[in-house]
Structure 1
């Protein structure tokens, strides 16, 4: 399976202000220290090998949208955040080369940051496209239609030309979709949220965002430990620091890097992707959190197998 991250921010999309971009350029120039490059390719190579990611690159600003390649050629997409627009453009290019125009969406929940990309999803206007929306919410269709009412958006839902099917699943249910075996778990978040486990050929990917893990509900944590069991990749909500989740932002529906690492260790998962980044965090802040997460994993690993901790960014591809 190949996992592509099209949007990794939480709550709302963000763009780096001019001063932040200027700061990156200034730091790069200082680090280059008068070096001369023959062309842009040479400059890119030097920057990639010598600059920290928060200077050379960016974690991006689009809200949640993750693609997982399936077995039967259909598109598999988790959530419809603002990253969905870029995915739709890329999918249209692939369909022009013969890719099936079938899209399976798996919704964690229906809050705006997770559906706001849908009005700009080009394939929804394609009469030859088939769109299947999987959710734990029976009101998923209502949420998408309401977002496109005239008071909010100029294009009504009924103007879309794709063929739509909405399927409601129950927590604990296991079903087949796009060549994958899929199971679903309920999560602690406003208006409910659901995590998904995707399996094929002995490999497993977990998509679990907008889930608050509470220290006083260990029975629930045991359920997540089982759900994450032996996963090859866990994409997990790590929006806040542990201090924030137990003090200022308790009951806000999100979790921390520390809790995610502890759960993945207990489940003996192989790789964790930090996800749903706090929109107020700069690229430097996110990279610092990533470094702290790697250090924490090393300190608490004990006799468990190593857990690789990566940090998701818009454009990242991970092969499982």
Structure 2
């Protein structure tokens, strides 16, 4: 029997705080598109869509989004798998409830990297948590995970207490380095360098495909033994979702000890590991679409300049991106 393909959906790709495009930024995109389209023959929606696809780049017509970290890994039509519960969890929850009403089992396996607010803030508004037909299993390497989720819904912060959630909610402690099997996927966690600790996860299916989710992780050139461990963790992964919040210069200077990494370090690690595809992730909230696109373009150039063997496919994650493995 052939295993179902893995489909990775990005519901939130920002770090620290959610952001939204301003009216001025949207207006600028429209004005730029009109200038570029001057003289073009556009008589229908189809003509306009074709012009956008052929003549304009991503940042000129779309947005990388503003929701904080939330990534879904779909391995079939049974249980849901979700990495982190940032503000992107809200939109995921709405879509998931629609699927559950049409017959998909309302079971949610959540894997938390850490407890910082941008990674848990979506849970109070997560619709499946308000449905008594839902089962939510929260996997974490942090012993204080349940306490953190309960505290963010204390009356001083939230109108909805944790106890009011109607779903069946349970917590599972995960030990770093110990492989577990969860509804058909093999999962292993790895400790990362981040304030209060952060953990990456590697997911593997029966067909040998693998996805690594590694956000909020700082990499240090003075600790190469640690980097060798990451190389092993990323080894031949089909997709590595990696924290690339800063440029290399920023991560080594003003942003040191913040617990984040750079695009160039992520490329080096993935190449050393023989990974096939890298998704730049956890975008800086101070970066607009143009700045994120420039980082993506710089990353592609760096990958080509330093390539020694087979190419590494470097993608830039955005809210709504889907990757089929």
Give the one of 231, 234, 254 matched to 1:248: 254
The answer to whether the 8 A contact 1:71-1:178 is kept is: no
The answer to whether the 8 A contact 2:241-2:280 is kept is: yes
Q: TM-score, normalised by structure 1?
A: 0.98
For residues 104-126 of structure 1, give each alpha carbon's deviation from its aligned partner in whole angstroms, at most 9, with x where no partner exists.
00000010000001111001011
Across the aligned residues of Structure 1 and Structure 2, the Cα RMSD in angstroms comes to 0.9
SS in 1 for 2:231: helix
Counterpart of 1:48 in structure 2 is 53
Give the one of 263, 267, 274 matched to 1:261: 267
The answer to whether the 8 A contact 1:225-1:264 is kept is: yes
* CA apart distance, 1:42: 2.8
For residues 150-183 of structure 1, give each alpha carbon's deviation from its aligned partner in whole angstroms, at most 9, with x where no partner exists.
0000000000010011001111010001210000
After TM superposition, the structure 1 stretch with the greater mean CA deviation from structure 2, 4-13 or 72-81, is: 72-81
Distance in 2 separating the partners of 1:158 and 1:34: 61
Give the one of 207, 212, 220 matched to 2:218: 212
Give the one of 58, 69, 72 matched to 1:67: 72
Give the one of 100, 105, 108 matched to 2:110: 105
Where in structure 2 are the equivalents of 1:31-180 lying within 5 Å?
31-71=36-76, 73-180=78-185
Counterpart of 2:3 in structure 1 is none
Counterpart of 2:209 in structure 1 is 203
Question: Displaced runs of 4+ in structure 1, greater than 3 A?
Answer: none
Distance in 2 separating the partners of 1:44 and 1:283: 20
Distance in 2 separating the partners of 1:300 and 1:139: 42
* CA apart distance, 1:215: 0.6
Distance in 1 separating the partners of 2:26 and 2:191: 39
Residue 273 (structure 1) aligned with residue 279 (structure 2) = yes
Q: TM-score, normalised by structure 2?
A: 0.97
Distance in 1 separating the partners of 2:157 and 2:53: 42
The answer to whether the 8 A contact 2:77-2:104 is kept is: no
Equivalenced residue count is: 319
After TM superposition, the structure 1 stretch with the greater mean CA deviation from structure 2, 35-44 or 57-66, is: 35-44
* CA apart distance, 1:266: 0.3
Distance in 2 separating the partners of 1:52 and 1:171: 41
SS in 2 for 1:62: coil
Residue 17 (structure 1) aligned with residue 22 (structure 2) = yes
SS in 1 for 2:50: helix
The answer to whether the 8 A contact 1:2-1:68 is kept is: yes
* CA apart distance, 1:71: 4.3
For residues 296-318 of structure 1, give each alpha carbon's deviation from its aligned partner in whole angstroms, at most 9, with x where no partner exists.
0111112x221000000000000
Counterpart of 2:236 in structure 1 is 230
Where in structure 2 are the equivalents of 1:295-310 lying within 5 Å?
295-302=301-308, 304-310=309-315
